[in-house]
Amino acid sequence: MNYFELFNIPVSFDVDLSELPKTYQQLQRLTHPDKFASGSDQDKLVAIQKNAQVNDAYSVLKSPLSRAEYLLSLRGIDLQHEQQTIKDTAFLMQQMEWREELAEIADRTDPLSALESLEDEIKQTIKSDLTKLRHLLESDQATDEKSAADVIRQLKFSYKMLSEIELKEDLLSDL
């Protein structure tokens, strides 16, 4: 059973994020291992497996990036273990500029403000990429699936940059 079927929602990049936690809680109640504490060893094992599947599904479905990867995996494209790199030279140049800016941020007059500005720029890029990804995943063209995979790779980098910015903010705030 795929995660969308498990949560009884359409297979789509767009999911109702307000309903997802409610369904998760219902599924948790149905599959929680404590509910099967007096059952056979087989019942306990099945409950643990089902509960783990519910947890995995929720984790994937609530995250746009994980959800997009999962959608592609349902179409036979697995990005989890691939070694393909980003070939978009404009994005690679942007990536290098962001890295340089982050490396030099402590030398700025107001480094926290500079970090906030960089963070805003990256969030704007993420927002744009998620919109692009949504349209690509709605398509059933093989070329769009490849493009969606490329956008996912870019988003992974952008989200990683946001994490690095948060770490840098924490470091600068402690000084």
Q: What is the pLDDT of residues 33-50, one digit of tens each?
A: 887 777 788 877 888 899
Same-domain check for residues 58 and 94: no
44 falls within a domain:
yes
Looking at the structure, tell me whether residues 163 and 94 fall in a common domain.
yes
pLDDT at 20 over 80: yes
pLDDT in tens, 110-155: 999 999 999 999 999 999 999 999 999 998 888 899 899 999 999 9
CATH (domain of 144): 1.20.1280.20
Residues 100 and 164 in one domain: yes
Together in a domain, 100 and 160: yes
Average pLDDT along the chain? 90
d(CA 120, CA 115): 9
Say if residue 94 is in the same domain as residue 42: no
Task: Kindly report the pTM of this predicted structure.
Answer: 0.84
Q: What percent of the chain has pLDDT over 90?
A: 67
Q: What one-character-per-residue DSSP string does 3-61 give?
A: HHHHTT--SSS---TTTHHHHHHHHHHHH-GGGGTTS-HHHHHHHHHHHHHHHHHHHHH
Q: Is residue 81 part of a domain?
A: no
Question: Is the pLDDT assigned to residue 87 strictly greater than 80?
Answer: no
Render pLDDT for 53-84 as a digit per residue (tens, 0 to 9). Answer: 999 999 999 999 999 999 999 998 888 666 67
146 token code pair? 């490849």
Report how far residue 69's alpha carbon sits from residue 75's, in angstroms, rounded to the nearest whole number: 10
Residue 113 domain boundaries = 89-174
Q: What is the DSSP letter of 105?
A: G
Assess whether 44 and 115 both reside in one domain: no
Please name which of 78, 60, 48, 70 lies closest in space to residue 133, comparing C-alpha atoms.
70
